[in-house]
Amino acid sequence: MPEDAVISYVKANQERNLQQLFDLLRIPSVSAQPAKHGKDVERCATFVADSLRDAGMENVRLVQTPGNPIVYADWLHAGEGAPTVLVYGHYDVQPPEPLDLWTSPPFEPTIRDGKLYARGATDDKGQMFAHVKAVEAHLKTHGKLPVNVKFFIEGEEEVGSKNLDRAIEELRKELACDVVLVSDTAMKGEGQPAITYSLRGLIYFQVDVTGPSSDLHSGTWGGSLANPNEALVQALAKMKDPKTGKVKIPGFYDGIKVTKEDRAAVAKSGYPDSYYKKSMAIKALWGEKGWSAAERTSIRPTFEVNGIYGGYQGDGAKTVIPAHAHAKVSMRLVGGQNPEKITRSFEKYLKSVALPGVEVKVTRLSAGFGAKVPLDHPAMQAATKALSDTFGKKPVYLAEGGSIPVVATFQKLLGVNTILMGFGLHDENLHAPDEHIRVANYQRGIEASARFLHEVAKVPL
């Protein structure tokens, strides 16, 4: 089988593939610190481009944006009727601070106990680079790929991908494909591969409540007006029913369709309630009635107050009525929910329940649709086979509570689904000191990606 030769190539080149990842990890491509690391980010884009060229990919170029460049490459000689796979990933990383909490320096990759420590190791350089090495294995072994492949590797994921949607829209034709392949998620656990098939969307708001023209003495003025702190508290409290945990924003649940299969998938892949209780060290769970914690964190939407602040916060007492009070509010949305509609409804409802005399301002800071890939999608089968063959164990299907907005963008702008084949683990400290990836999972990631390209050629897309 041609596949065996490719896997042999991967295995034979493990040390070299690891050293090249080391080189990639040494570049401090911190997108959140442009003054300090702007040059490094550009250097990193060039490194990725060069790696793709060395792998045998064609039309390699840096797509300029108002921010950091996106690396594009393709190989389109799979022949008539062959499907096209678009690989998305990102080469930028989170800031490494606080530096003193790292066991080894964040940009000096170090292996300890089979784990490769470096900023970006699991998020996302290690996972993204596995695909570069996978196409290389195919191209160096057979001089060709089983399918057409395009790469689209951005450099602003850690700062909100602010130029990505625009770029995808402009390059719509060039990016045309049958399926997107992304590795920027986690496995279920050590040795248990997983495909994330559902992601929650996210809308995030700043809420500002303004009352009197200045801070007031609560003895002199208290009782005569709606205190902005209290107006905020009263309004936010109305957003959720404390008895049922249901969100009370009108129309919030409209359009949601949770199937038996969804619940079965969560029941199979998700953790039991006891796991949540223990992990968070709390005495009792709480949330929307009628759903398990695993469901509530994956296939059900949420409403959360991420921040709240107003008035006096120091030690002791200050008898003040503040002029204003604020909150950060976010909602995780699932497939079917419309962020635009919910945004409007939230703003209207919040204002309608505000106490008299205060002004309520709602500013949306971000919005992203949720996404769901049908479990019976043909590429899902290909990914399942690739992961099963690589790990010796069938993958589980995860409904992820977090959000990867680009998945919804691909669905919307390119009309395609995304296969989220993750090689990270939840304990690998992404966004924290001592970020790492299992070396074995990086190597398996290369194999799984190589197998996926092989398998996906066989299914009807």
H or E segment and range at residue 445: helix 439-456
Considering the candidates 92, 184, 288, 428, report the single residue annotated as catalytic: 92
Work out which of 302, 337, 384, 409 binds a copy of itself, going by CB under 8 A: 302
Q: Which of 451, 455, 461 is nearest to 382 (CA)?
A: 455
Structure tokens at 146: 């089983």
Catalytic residue among 74, 154, 156, 157: 157
The least CB distance from residue 197 to a copy of itself, in Å, is: 16
Among 133, 296, 372, 438, binds a copy of itself (CB under 8 A): 296
**Considering the rule CB under 8 A, would residue 229 count as an interface residue with a copy of itself?**
yes
**335 sits near a copy of itself (criterion: CB under 8 A):** no
Of the pair 12, 285, the CB lying nearest a copy of itself is at 285
**Stretch near a copy of itself under the rule CB under 8 A, chosen from 3-11, 319-327, 389-397, 448-456:** 319-327
224 binds a copy of itself (CB under 8 A): yes
Q: Which amino acid is at 135?
A: V
Amino acid at 4: D
Q: Smaller CB distance to a copy of itself: residue 316 or 460?
A: 316
Q: Kindly provide the b/e burial profile for residues 103-124, where b requires at least 16 CB atoms within 10 angstroms of the residue's own CB.
A: eeebbebbeeeebbbbbbbbbb
- Are the CB atoms for 195 and 398 separated by under 8 Å? yes
Residue 66 near a copy of itself by CB under 8 A: no
Asked if residue 295 lies in contact with residue 263, where contact means CB atoms within 8 angstroms, the answer is: yes
> How far, in Å, CA of 218 to CA of 212, rounded?
12
What is the C-alpha to C-alpha distance for residues 88 and 86, in angstroms, rounded to an integer?
6
Q: Is 267 or 365 the residue whose CB approaches a copy of itself more closely?
A: 365
Considering only residues 124-163, where is the footprint of a copy of itself by CB under 8 A? none
Q: DSSP of 363-387, one letter per residue? A: EEEEEE--EE--TT-HHHHHHHHHH
How far is residue 419's CA from residue 385's CA, in Å, rounded to a whole number?
13
Q: Minimum distance from CB of 74 to a copy of itself (Å)?
A: 32
Beta bridge partners of 400: 199
The reply on whether position 285 binds a copy of itself by CB under 8 A is: yes
Report, in Å, the least distance between residue 293 CB and a copy of itself.
4
Rank residues 22 and 312 by Cβ distance to a copy of itself and give the closer one: 312
Q: Is 357 in the site for a copy of itself (CB under 8 A)?
A: yes
**Beta pairing class for 115-117 and 110-112:** antiparallel
Q: With CB under 8 A, what is the number of residues at the site for a copy of itself?
A: 79
Kindly state the smallest distance separating residue 60's Cβ from a copy of itself, in Å. 34
**Span between the terminal Cα atoms of the chain, in Å:** 23
Establish if 98 lies at the interface with a copy of itself (CB under 8 A).
no
- Long-range CB pairs of 95-100 (<8 Å, 24+ gap) are 95/30, 95/32, 95/33, 96/28, 96/30, 96/433, 98/433, 99/433
Residue 238 or 361 with smaller CB distance to a copy of itself: 238
Q: Phi and psi of 237, rounded to 5°?
A: -60, -30
CA 135 – CA 139 distance, rounded (Å)? 6
Interface positions, 245-284, toward a copy of itself (CB under 8 A): 276, 280-284
Name the phi and psi angles at 400, rounded to 5.
-90, 140
Q: Give the nearest distance from C-beta 371 to a copy of itself in angstroms.
A: 13
92 is catalytic: yes
Beta carbon nearer to a copy of itself, 59 or 343: 343
Query: Pattern 365-404, binding to a copy of itself, x per CB under 8 A?
Result: xx---------------------------------xxxx-
- The site map against a copy of itself for 401-430 (x = CB under 8 A) is xxx---------------------------
Least distance to a copy of itself, CB of residue 9, Å: 37
Pair of tokens at residue 196: 């994330």
Which of 6, 73, 236, 350: binder of a copy of itself (CB under 8 A)?
236
When asked if residue 342 is in the footprint of a copy of itself (CB under 8 A), the reply is no
87: nearest Cα among 67, 66, 71: 71
Answer left, alpha or beta for residue 113, where phi above 0 means left and psi between -120 and 50 means alpha.
left
> Rule CB under 8 A: is residue 460 a binding residue for a copy of itself?
no
Binding range to a copy of itself, per CB under 8 A, among 125-133, 200-208, 340-348, 410-418: 200-208
Applying CB under 8 A, which of residues 13, 227, 409, 443 lies at the interface with a copy of itself?
227
The rounded distance, in Å, linking the Cα atoms of 455 and 195 is 15
204-223 binders of a copy of itself (CB under 8 A): 204, 211-213, 216-223
d(CA 208, CA 344): 16
Distance CA 149, CA 119 (A): 28
Q: How far is the CB of 320 from a copy of itself (least distance, A)?
A: 5
Beta-ladder partners of 399: 198
Q: Distance (Å, rounded) from C-alpha 221 to C-alpha 388? A: 69
Least CB distance to a copy of itself at residue 256 (A): 13
Residues catalogued as catalytic: 92, 157
